[in-house]
Structure 1
Amino acid sequence: MTKESFLIQSSLADQAREALRDQIISGKLPPNARIDLHDLAQQWNISPTPLRDAVKALESSGLVEIQPRRGVFVAGLDRKGLRETFELRMAFEGMAARLAAVHLPDGLAADAGRRYRAAGAMPADLQETALQEVDTLVHDIVRDNCGNSRLIRLMEGVRDLVQWSRQTIIRHVPESFAASLPEHLAICDALAARHADGAERAMRIHLDGVLARIEDYLDAHGTVIA
């Protein structure tokens, strides 16, 4: 294979990975769905090789499972998988919140708190959309301002898994936005006060609360989110 053909193949694999990732995170391919690689290769007019490379990359990020003699499937989102994902988030984002309380610019957390309060004060018919728009705000702030490049890379490593679980949860438990509001405000207040212990504790309490709400959904509707 020439260098030029290798680069073309690599580019196709990257494009296929992004396209397949988007279908999974958006819910077009739901948890546990079988992925027909032959059909996708025909739809996207590419050879099987870059698509197989894309699948391997998504398997590494936790979005797909390759089952011998059965095929390729979107990963399942069950109680165990959710708890493992949230345990990672509690460890990484809790530490990021602790560090961000020291490093973030003055006024940033207070401004985020004002944006959350403004969203929470919207009329009932607009509140859910407003809260969804700011839902990841404080999470982005602690990641971007933790001052630890290695921690940021670890968080980026599970980004796809976090986005996928979040979008799946939103489709099934939309009321979690309102329930998360006081938790987000507690994180913002601790960050604004530069209270490192409090920021880490508030982030962990928030993520534990989100997980508990999802587990309540699973208790009521079944053990797997589809």
Structure 2
Amino acid sequence: MKRRMHLHFLKRKLQHDVDDLKEVVEMSELHLQKDIRSLSIHVEKELADLSEEEKEYTAGWYAEDFFRLDKVLPGIQRRAFFLTAMSMLEANLIYSCKMCHRAYGFEKEFKKKRDIRTIIQALDYLNNNLSIRQHSYKYYWDILQHLWTIRNCLVHSDGKPSSKDEKEITDFCKEFSSIKVDRLKGIVFKKGSMEKVIHIIDQLFRRLMDEIGRNKMPEK
């Protein structure tokens, strides 16, 4: 009974965190599109009674506002949401280890070590203590490993891939088309990229919970 309660609480928390982030991302994108439409309507009204020369001058005056709403602000927001998503992934994998330790009574608690990605340590802990079929989540886990490299690039080198990671990130972005490396070697998150990242994390969590729930270890 206690195990079922722990696992039920864990499953609900993982889903709740994913749903919350998904909702915030959707609202953010909708507000940006609304602001662009509002600005377009305002500019159209202002241009209506102007001469062609005045229209050209006035439209140029608003060009920076459109660029800011269409490129700059979305880029800043998506970058922040991406880092939030990666933090959520790490925190919830650690939390999964702690809850499974309580639910199954593993001999050792999960403890982070230096110089190894925490998300790898956490998943190894679960794999080593439970009968998890790794093939069930491997597709999503492989993608998240590349996304974590991008996360490190954003955190440690201001969004520009290091020589060590450049090939990995460039090759990955060719497949993961909603993220790209621009001509200045900066990482750009396109529209829809955050929804895709959150979906991948969600699928990993779902498959992990299915595997964790399959385990029939006797309760201690």
After TM superposition, is the score higher than 0.5?
Answer: no
| TM-score, normalised relative to structure 1 | 0.31
The structure with the largest alpha-carbon Rg is 2
| TM-score, normalised relative to structure 2 | 0.32
